[in-house]
Structure 1
Amino acid sequence: MEDWRRIDIDALDPENARLTAADLQQPLLTTLPTYTIQQVQQQISQLRSFGSSGDTLSAVRLITGSPVYLTDSEATKQQYLLAVLDVLCQARPTDIANIVKQLSNDEADVLTKYLYKGMSKPEGAKQGAVLLSWLDKVIEKNGTGSIIRFLTDRKSV
């Protein structure tokens, strides 16, 4: 009989499946839509029209309703992020609290992703005070749950 102290019992456990990075990415790729450059350009033009008309709530609903997770290129994602930052920075400070109150928890989570992504870019760092005021209102509404979900979610904007 073999030395029973050297048996790897974890390898025999069917509940202990060893997942690779490809296994973890596969469900993500099959469930998320890939946006083309034309689709992203349409969303950018809608965002700019909402921003120029002062309808920030509709713009935020568009941003959070169909987030751009997968695109043809990273440059397309960057263009969309810049349009999102423009709209968020155009909001009046008094309107931010009212807009965030009208968002669902899922929409607030997506908004948190865009806020953190924006603050990590030089363009967003210039408007850091505005983005932090958005984040402050999200935290007032949802607590720190949106931040925790942002940190643990595999889907990035």
Structure 2
Amino acid sequence: MAKNTSSSAFRKIDVDQYNEDNFKEDEADAISATVGPDENEITTLLTQGKSVEALVNVLQNAPLRCKNQHVKDNALNTTLRVLLSIKSSQMDQAVEALEQNDLLDVLMKYIYRGFEIPSEGSSGHLLQWHEKAFAKGGVGCIVRVLSDTNRA
């Protein structure tokens, strides 16, 4: 028989730490993703006529896991500026330049965010972007965007 059977030390163990289903957000990812796109670089690319490169740059540097709303709003404004600067005839080329499906999903996130804050002439242009992105990404692109917890 054990000497110390009335010990309650086992009750102080946190058994939840061993559960695989516990969600813990990676703080390193959240910190690294707070930067967002460089507005000066984007402006330079747009003035040089490299709007497709500007779009790829904006989408690659999107602050998706950032908690700071100010950073997200600045990224949204920069992305909308790039999207609205690309002409309808260049949209197919721009969508084809998005080789990774992740970038296409980020584009779709910004299109939907652009729908939330319409300005004059932007809704029709964003609808054209939606059509082009949907043609390449299909329904899966829309479902991934709507079900993702990381908002643009």
TM-score by length of 2: 0.75
Please tell me whether the aligned partners of residues 50 and 58 of structure 1 are also in contact (alpha carbons under 8 angstroms): yes
Counterpart position of 2:114: 118
Alignment of 1:20-39 (within 5 A): 23-24=22-23, 26-27=24-25, 29-32=27-30, 33-35=32-34, 39=35
Partners of 2:61 and 2:33 in 1: CA distance: 11
Measured after TM superposition, the shift of residue 138 of structure 1 is 0.7
Measured after TM superposition, the shift of residue 76 of structure 1 is 2.6
Structure 1 residue runs without a partner (length 5+): 1-16
Please tell me whether the aligned partners of residues 63 and 71 of structure 2 are also in contact (alpha carbons under 8 angstroms): no
Distance 1:28 1:156, change over 3 A: farther
Structure with max Cα Rg:
2
Q: Answer yes or no: is 1:131 the counterpart of 2:126.
A: yes
Measured after TM superposition, the shift of residue 79 of structure 1 is 1.9
Counterpart position of 1:55: 50
Secondary structure of the corresponding residue to residue 68 of structure 1: coil
Please tell me whether the aligned partners of residues 34 and 72 of structure 1 are also in contact (alpha carbons under 8 angstroms): no
Task: Find the partner of 1:93 among 88, 110, 117.
Answer: 88
Distance 1:71 1:149, change over 3 A: closer
Task: Find the partner of 1:76 among 71, 94, 107.
Answer: 71
Q: How many matched pairs? A: 132
Counterpart position of 1:142: 137
Identity of counterpart residues, as a percentage?
Answer: 23
State the one-letter code of the partner of 2:106. V
TM-score by length of 1: 0.73
Q: Answer yes or no: is 1:156 the counterpart of 2:139.
A: no
Please tell me whether the aligned partners of residues 45 and 54 of structure 2 are also in contact (alpha carbons under 8 angstroms): yes
Structure 2 residue runs without a partner (length 5+): 1-18
Measured after TM superposition, the shift of residue 122 of structure 1 is 3.5
Partners of 1:107 and 1:27 in 2: CA distance: 22
Counterpart position of 1:14: none
Please tell me whether the aligned partners of residues 119 and 131 of structure 1 are also in contact (alpha carbons under 8 angstroms): yes
Please tell me whether the aligned partners of residues 39 and 78 of structure 2 are also in contact (alpha carbons under 8 angstroms): yes
Please tell me whether the aligned partners of residues 58 and 79 of structure 2 are also in contact (alpha carbons under 8 angstroms): yes
Partners of 1:122 and 1:142 in 2: CA distance: 24
Please tell me whether the aligned partners of residues 92 and 132 of structure 2 are also in contact (alpha carbons under 8 angstroms): yes
Secondary structure of the corresponding residue to residue 143 of structure 1: helix
Partners of 2:45 and 2:57 in 1: CA distance: 10
